[in-house]
């Protein structure tokens, strides 16, 4: 039996917008023996992001409509039919791709369907997570806990999810509401979710969101609006009924 037959098919989706200086490092550090396909979604980059990705033999998807969620959706649309677990990873080398096994383990052991890489629980390089981002995460996770009773500590972008679970979440957001939408819906639908501590370092390349006033305000408003929307409207019966399994949350013990 090959190694591939012994475990589920794992796909990595990397949304990338003008990350030519970072994307090569990200691709080089992915533990390939654990991964079956790597999809880089080039979100209308004007630099050599696509070229670098192709040179590292990633599967390249071009999505001209801008937005983080839009890029993630395009990556999901391009998944191989065999894909069973999807890992989302930023292209700016803030996350450490070598920590991917920590996200996969709880799913492989069937302890979780969704694993969020928590930068709050893990080691952060000084200055990697701007104070406004930390505040926004704290507020958003506080609201999720108060409204839905599920205690996340972060809305980190580095995360793994079973593909069938992802289908059931029926993701809609086209930009920076994507991460919170996934967690809110997971809480409402009783998806078995865990957090794993992940490290976070200063990005390579110029900050586009958390380092700019416009980006921070835009993302902050979007995240709060997303929480408000699902609080008021709830979710349709996408896969499971909310009452079918109570929201449960465990945290991976910190190493």
Ligand X SMILES: Nc1nc2c(ncn2[C@@H]2O[C@H](COP(=O)(O)OP(=O)(O)OP(=O)(O)O)[C@@H](O)[C@H]2O)c(=O)[nH]1
Q: Would you count residue 59 as binding Mg ion (CB under 5 A)?
A: no
Q: Decide whether 63 or 92 has the Cβ nearer to Mg ion.
A: 92
Quote the CA–CA distance of 184 and 31 in Å, as a whole number: 29
Name the minimum Å distance from CB 6 to ligand X: 31
Quote the CA–CA distance of 21 and 208 in Å, as a whole number: 14
Contact set with ligand X (CB under 6 A): 15-17, 19, 43, 66-68, 71, 90-92, 94, 203, 207-211
Name the minimum Å distance from CB 92 to Mg ion: 4
Name the minimum Å distance from CB 233 to ligand X: 26
Q: Is 32 exposed, middle or buried (0-12, 13-18, 19+ CB in 10 A)?
A: exposed
Residue nearest to Mg ion (CB): 92
Name the minimum Å distance from CB 175 to ligand X: 7
Among 19, 42, 63, 92, binds Mg ion (CB under 5 A): 92
- Two tokens, residue 17: 């917008």
Buried b (16+ CB within 10 A) or exposed e, 221-252: ebbbebbeebeeeebeeebeebeeeebebebb
Beta bridge partners of 135: none
For the chain, the farthest-separated pair of C-alpha atoms sits apart, in whole angstroms, at 53
Number of residues this chain uses to bind Mg ion (CB under 5 A): 3
Q: Decide whether 192 or 222 has the Cβ nearer to ligand X.
A: 222
Among 163, 203, 222, 249, binds Mg ion (CB under 5 A): 203
């Amino acid at each position: 039996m090959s190694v591939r037959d012994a475990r589920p098919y794992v796909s990595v989706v990397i949304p990338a917008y003008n990350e030519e200086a970072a994307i090569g490092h990200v691709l080089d550090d992915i533990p390939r023996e654990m991964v079956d396909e790597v999809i880089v979604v080039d979100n209308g980059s004007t630099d050599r992001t696509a070229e670098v990705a192709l040179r590292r033999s990633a599967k390249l998807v071009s999505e001209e409509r801008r937005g983080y969620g839009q890029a993630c959706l395009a990556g999901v649309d391009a998944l191989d039919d065999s894909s069973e677990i999807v890992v989302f990873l930023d292209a700016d080398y803030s996350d450490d791709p070598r920590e991917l096994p920590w996200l996969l383990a709880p799913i492989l052991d069937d302890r979780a369907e969704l694993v969020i890489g928590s930068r709050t629980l893990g080691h952060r390089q000084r200055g990697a997570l701007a104070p406004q981002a930390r505040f926004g995460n704290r507020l958003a996770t506080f609201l999720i806990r108060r409204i839905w009773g599920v205690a996340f500590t972060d809305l980190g972008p580095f995360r793994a999810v079973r593909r069938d679970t992802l289908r059931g979440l029926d993701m809609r957001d086209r930009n920076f509401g994507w991460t919170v939408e996934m967690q809110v819906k997971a809480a409402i639908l009783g998806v078995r979710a865990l957090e794993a501590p992940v490290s976070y370092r200063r990005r390579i390349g110029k900050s586009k969101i958390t380092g700019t006033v416009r980006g921070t305000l835009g993302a902050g408003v979007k995240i709060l609006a997303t929480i408000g929307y699902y609080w008021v409207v709830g979710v349709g019966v996408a896969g499971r009924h909310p009452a079918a399994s109570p929201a449960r949350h465990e945290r991976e013990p910190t190493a």
